Structure 1
Amino acid sequence: MSCKADLTVKPEVTPFFDPATNTISYVVKDPGSDACAVVDSVMDIDYAAGRISYESADAIIAFVRDRGLKVEWLIETHVHADHLSGAPYIQAALGGRIGIGSQITVVQETFGKVFNEGTEFQRDGSQFDRLFEDGDTYQVGGMTACAIHTPGHTPACMTHVMGDAAFVGDTLFMPDGGSARADFPGGDAGTLYDSIQKVLALPRETRLFMCHDYGPNGRDIAWETTVGEQQDHNIHVGKRRTRDAFIAMREARDATLKMPTLIIPSLQVNMKAGELPSEDESGKRFLKVPLGAL
């Protein structure tokens, strides 16, 4: 089935901005109940010190508890390469099911080899509670949500539509930010263009919520726009930019970009639903650095 935004259902969306990774997480409340979903949560890491902390996730937990909300879903729009997921930490505190796109198995197969995870690492997505297929629906209280497969940035990218709101992950940035890179393993600029067209086919009034913003040209950080604003003003795909022109632009731009600072720990943790490596006999945890592999 195709996903359709319901403009009559207007969830309450509360953003949480993480300045260390320029990530925006969201608590999305069903307007008719106390049920909510958490989208793209963050676990904090001091990479140089090898220290994990939970200030970002704790802020979400405190908000949910203060409001008396019930977490039903912890949604990952994709396997993030620039921040670690706080989903299992929030799940342990508040409950809910962790969901991601079914193509997580492709990501796990690719990076299981990169990080030499061995046969004990299950590459079937079983670390997650739900694997969404294109067009799948699920409930947040009385609100029906729907997942759209929007690959291109990564194979597992999904846009989640909840009422009149859509959470696009890294498929799109704000209109003056354009689009996300498509040069990670499994990414593809043409596929990303096609996915963006799926998002832009939603009603013009649909609210769109970004996973990242970097404040281009010194403006304040922003995270909410609309389909209509993207259609009219997005610097990469607006005003009917052609697929060929987008591919040429995107591939040339991607060739100039550095890898994200946290790509090594992020991929290892996030492809396992946010779970940290197991402790060794001394009680320590270790991440791997594959030399020359990325």
Structure 2
Amino acid sequence: MEPALYIVATPIGNLGDISRRALEVLSGVTCVAAEDTRRTGQLLSSEGIKARMVAYHEHSAPAVAEQLVARVAAGESVALVSDAGTPTISDPGYRLVRVMQDAGLKVVPIPGPCAAIVALSAAGLPSDRFAFEGFLPNKGEARRRRLELLAGEDATLIFYEAPHRILATLEDMQEVMGPGREAALARELSKSFETIRRAPLSKLCDWVREDANQSRGEIVLLLSPARSESDVSIEPALGELLRGMAEHMPARQAAKLLSSYSGVRSRQLYDYLLEHRQE
């Protein structure tokens, strides 16, 4: 094969999703740089491929990348694979791409599955503009701060999330972005228990809270684009209910309570109340 670093996408679940070109490359390269050699070894074995493997992951020393660069510079070919999906997407493989490029060596992408794009294709959310945000911070306070920065984005947002944090993340999203913000949860994509569900955040929270199975496996979480407040109309009946509530409690409390019921952001309800309270 031509001396180069080949970025090879592998299945995210169903082994039948591997491409013919990916198999040809994995069969022909001098060595395979794998995030987890045991997991990649199982994939190669299932396809009858015998290949020399080198571990390359987040904790690899810079010397490993230098050795791989030296191989390609000497005329060899190297395939880079992650545990699943497209390498360099939310993993450290991009560092190896950079050192190869900086050394003037060729980098060849071999297209294939990517969980973020697979989820977007089936989520039923706008896909003309989207942003991949990877993993949110582990801790609640930091996660909420990050979500506050993203709340106004007018593109569909795509996140990866660990199963043990999915409920806490959904609850934080509901708190920051409002219970009516539409979202989609895509779990175990291409696998036996594949699940894709689109619903307001409040309903997704209830669903995950009530069904422990939804907190298992590989998860992609998608959020619909933010709507400007001018895009959300407050129906006369809702406005009348809001004014009635505000006669018995502080305006901000009334807006917050009605937001949970209606899905309209509490700030918009509060502003509406200030404008129409005397009617």
Q: TM (normalized to structure 1)? A: 0.27
Greater length-normalized contact order (CA 8 Å, ≥ 6 residues apart): 1
Q: Radius of gyration: which is bigger? A: 2
TM-score normalised per structure 2: 0.28
Which has the larger helix fraction? 2
